[in-house]
Each structure stands twice: as structure tokens, then as C-alpha cells.
Amino acid sequence: MIKSKVIENDLKNWLDIRVCDDDFLVCNKSGNRLTQSYVSRTVEKILISAGIRKEKNGAHMLRHSFATLLYSKHHDLILVQEALGHADINTSRIYTHFDKDKLKKATEIF
């Protein structure tokens, strides 16, 4: 989620130089639609080269990290639901488990 005015010039430049068969924003080396496995492998290689080694590296891990940070910063489950495109709010509820402030407050009660 990036404001268009922040990337307007870079986006225009990218659209002028990209080589895709269709009107995709990004594509694979052959100019075709990206597959989920292609994106996951690419992200995993980038994370490993950056020294980030997790049991489950990949694009989905980044999605979870984004959602966790979004929830921890704003404490707004509806915002997380909208940002991730979840149809059901219950799907987004898993990110509330990462709320360390609430956990600290709960332990202080005891």
C-alpha cells in the first residue's frame, strides 16, 4: 500500500521499460504472468542472500510480517482485513495473537 504520488515517477519509468506480453505490472523472464511458486522462489532467494533465514521463507512470510506490523501499529483488525483482501474478518484474527502490549497488560493483571 503506497500512495501513488510517492511512486508516480518511478512507476511511469518502469511502465516504459518493462517487457511483458500482456499489460502486467511485472512478469517473469519470459514476459509471462508470474506464478505463485516463481514469486516465492524469488523472494526466498532474496531473503537468503540478505541473511534472513527462516524455516518458511517466501512471499507469504512477508505477507504475514506486513499484517503483523500493520496490526501492532494500528490495532485495527478491519484495516488488516482490507489490506490483505480477506473476505472474512475471522481470517484476519490470527494477527491479534501477535499483540505483545495486550499480552503484557494481561500478565500485569495477575
The amino acid at 96: T
38 within domain boundaries: no
29 within domain boundaries: no
pTM over 0.85: no
Residue 63: give the domain boundaries.
Answer: 56-109
pLDDT for 39-76, tens place per residue?
Answer: 888 888 888 898 887 777 778 888 888 998 999 899 89
Average pLDDT of the chain?
86
For the chain, the domain total comes to: 1
24 within domain boundaries: no
d(CA 62, CA 65): 5
18: region left, alpha or beta (phi > 0 left; psi from -120 to 50 alpha): beta
Give the rounded percent of residues in the chain with a pLDDT score beyond 70. Answer: 93
Q: Kindly give, in sequence order, each residue whose CB lies less than 8 Å from that of residue 34, ignoring residues fewer than 6 positions away.
A: 24, 26, 27, 28
Q: Stretch 79-85: mean pLDDT, rounded?
A: 94
43 within domain boundaries: no
Q: What is the pLDDT of residue 98?
A: 64
Q: Stretch 12-24: mean pLDDT, rounded?
A: 89
